[in-house]
Structure 1
Amino acid sequence: MTEKYRIECIPNVSSADPDVLDKICAAIHAVPEVDLRFVDPGLSANRTVFTYIGPAEAVFEATQRLIETALACIDMRKHSGVHPRMGAIDVCPFVLLDDKKFQAAFLNAVDRFIEHMGTKGLPIYTYEYSARQPSRRNLAVVRKGEYEQLPSRFAQGDFPDVGPKIWNVATAKSGATAMGARPLMVAFNVNLSGGTKNELLLAAKKIAGRIRERDGGLPGVKSIGWYIPDLDVVQVSCNLT
């Protein structure tokens, strides 16, 4: 008998609309073995992070339900927010929670799920452990230019790894998704004070540029400096893997 192993999914959905979030939560709760741990909406970002865990197959089922619900509710042509994003389901990472002996099976299962969702019409750029092009391992590289640059990327042949490769009404509505397996991640955010908003934002962006790996900073660090209007704070936001 094949051993079950537990995984976590942390999809970032481009909406903070309570009605949309209720529908997505209902879709996740429809899968009995999945435990929805956190729902973290950001009003200024117009973005919500979901966190749920469970046996791998159950988590994949819940994720497909989440994706289908989000795509039905969100139109990226009308989306705005202060956080970088490129699709209705902007990023969809999977994390192995159990013993490393399951790593190979886990990575294969994520690849199969990516292929499956591509057949459902979702444009997917693979990243982290699942990256099919080495240059796309880093999420910041995958998402460069955000949603607004996707038509140009498609036109120039910078296509998703899986799913539609034509920019049309359907892909304009959905945008694209970064999906893949990754290690556990720690979010570490620092709010700045002691100056005007513009001074602090300049400092935050400078700090982020100095410390993130992509620009020659610390290994495993992704960082942005940004202003969050609904909290009225300037923040250096870091993801550590």
Structure 2
Amino acid sequence: MSHHLGGVAAAHRLACHVYVSEGRRWHAIERLLRAAKSLTQPPGLILASTFPDVDYNRTCFTFVATAPTFTEHLADAVAGVATVAADIVDMREQHAAHPRLGVLDHVSVHPLAEEATMDAAANAARAVAERLGNGSPHLPYYLYGAASASGDVRLSAIRRSLGYFAGETSGNWQGTGAGGTAKNAIPDTLAPDGGPATVHDAHGIVCVGATPWVTHVNVPLVVSDASVNDDDLLPRARSIARAIAERHGGLPGVEAMALPKRTPPFPPNLGDADLESLRSSVEQALAAHSSDGAVQVVEVACNVRTPDVTSPEMVVETVLARARACGLKAHNVGAYTTQATKEELLSM
């Protein structure tokens, strides 16, 4: 049975997405999920959705909390999930198609309505970061968005400075090897905002921030042209991602990258996750991921920071148009989002 925020004004709700670098081993996902559920405080703090991804080897847990009453409880819940993640995930052995910087790659906090202020989201994000850095699992952390000292640090800028996007080329964790620094070493030019000054090789670092709502749209493309081999497909997809990104003159508010994809997506599990249903979905995806006959698919993963300006539909249409323009005989097999929608969270 799902928990609901009964009697709580929707206007004062915050959403918190917690991205853990584990999405393949069911026993690990189940342990993380049980920890996340045990740390909620209904009706003021609930686990709203769970989304594991086998290819990307990561799971997104979404909490919904009332502000400011449950800010401390939210920090407790995120720290509890992070502690379990640090116990069961070793970044020296973790492999994935998606780049990442640590066992807890990323935590984002968002107001769900105008009355839930950005200040409340920023305060909640800072409280989470301080718990992660000064308590268990003791991670160096970087703050972005409204939670940062200047209030406008971009997550993508931090990631780029830390070598995050190098991870998508090899499928292995790249640590913080940007700018000629040693792998897993923090660059002298970008000290963390808090937590330890050095990185534990097994745990990595975490980025924590507060921003307006961000829509995550992934567009898988199945390529039926036998003349396009694997070595050529991903570079073409990266050219599509580059073309649609705002940074390179593309769609307003869009950040994008291209990643290999072997498994079909399944929707986020809303509310109290049905363990058997979720386990079945993960096992089916894992079987597809391991299959030698996997279809030739690439995925353009997009963060839409201004969904009111650039709709998800516009993103999908533009990706498909760019695919045709660069000579890919590709078709859309179903764009999807990686978390519950804002409307779904507000209706809980």
TM-score by length of 2: 0.61
Structure 2 Cα separation of the partners of residues 21 and 77 of structure 1: 19
Shift of 1:81: 0.5
Paired residue secondary structure (2:117) = helix
Tell me the equivalent position of 1:164: 196
Tell me the equivalent position of 1:225: 258
Aligned with 1:22 (options 20, 25, 30): 30
Given that residues 209 and 224 in structure 1 are in contact (C-alpha distance below 8 angstroms), is that contact kept between their aligned partners in structure 2?
A: yes
1:68 counterpart letter in structure 2: T
**Alpha-carbon displacement from aligned partner over 1:190-236 (angstroms, at most 9, x marks no partner):** 22234334444232211110111233333311101121133442111
TM-score by length of 1: 0.86
Given that residues 12 and 115 in structure 2 are in contact (C-alpha distance below 8 angstroms), is that contact kept between their aligned partners in structure 1?
A: no
The percent identity for this pair of structures is 28
Matches within 5 A, 1:2-17: 5-16=12-23, 17=25
Given that residues 8 and 59 in structure 1 are in contact (C-alpha distance below 8 angstroms), is that contact kept between their aligned partners in structure 2?
A: no
Aligned with 1:126 (options 118, 128, 143): 143
In 2 relative to 1, CA 47–204 (structure 1 residues): closer, same or farther, beyond 3 Å? same
The higher relative CO (CA closer than 8 Å, separation ≥ 6) is in: 2
1:41 aligns with 2:52: yes
Tell me the equivalent position of 2:153: 137
Matches within 5 A, 1:190-209: 190-192=219-221, 193-195=223-225, 196=228, 197-209=230-242
Bigger radius of gyration among the two? 2
In 2 relative to 1, CA 26–240 (structure 1 residues): closer, same or farther, beyond 3 Å? same
**Alpha-carbon displacement from aligned partner over 1:118-146 (angstroms, at most 9, x marks no partner):** 21221111122223367x83323222313
**Alpha-carbon displacement from aligned partner over 1:44-101 (angstroms, at most 9, x marks no partner):** 2111111221224233321121111111211111111110111100011011124336
Paired residue secondary structure (1:111) = helix
Given that residues 12 and 92 in structure 1 are in contact (C-alpha distance below 8 angstroms), is that contact kept between their aligned partners in structure 2?
A: yes
Structure with more strand by fraction:
1
Aligned pairs, how many?
235
> After the TM superposition, which of the residue ranges 123-132 and 146-155 deviates more from structure 2?
146-155
Given that residues 7 and 59 in structure 1 are in contact (C-alpha distance below 8 angstroms), is that contact kept between their aligned partners in structure 2?
A: no
1:92 counterpart letter in structure 2: V
**Alpha-carbon displacement from aligned partner over 1:141-192 (angstroms, at most 9, x marks no partner):** 222313524262525342221111124xxx2111011111121111222222
2:242 counterpart letter in structure 1: G
The alignment's C-alpha RMSD in Å is 2.4
In 2 relative to 1, CA 133–19 (structure 1 residues): closer, same or farther, beyond 3 Å? farther
Shift of 1:15: 0.6
Structure 2 Cα separation of the partners of residues 133 and 198 of structure 1: 42
Provide structure 1 residue ranges, at least 5 long, that are not aligned to the other structure.
none
1:116 counterpart letter in structure 2: R
In 2 relative to 1, CA 109–230 (structure 1 residues): closer, same or farther, beyond 3 Å? closer
Tell me the equivalent position of 2:126: 111
Tell me the equivalent position of 1:150: 176
Aligned with 2:204 (options 175, 194, 197): 175
1:28 counterpart letter in structure 2: A
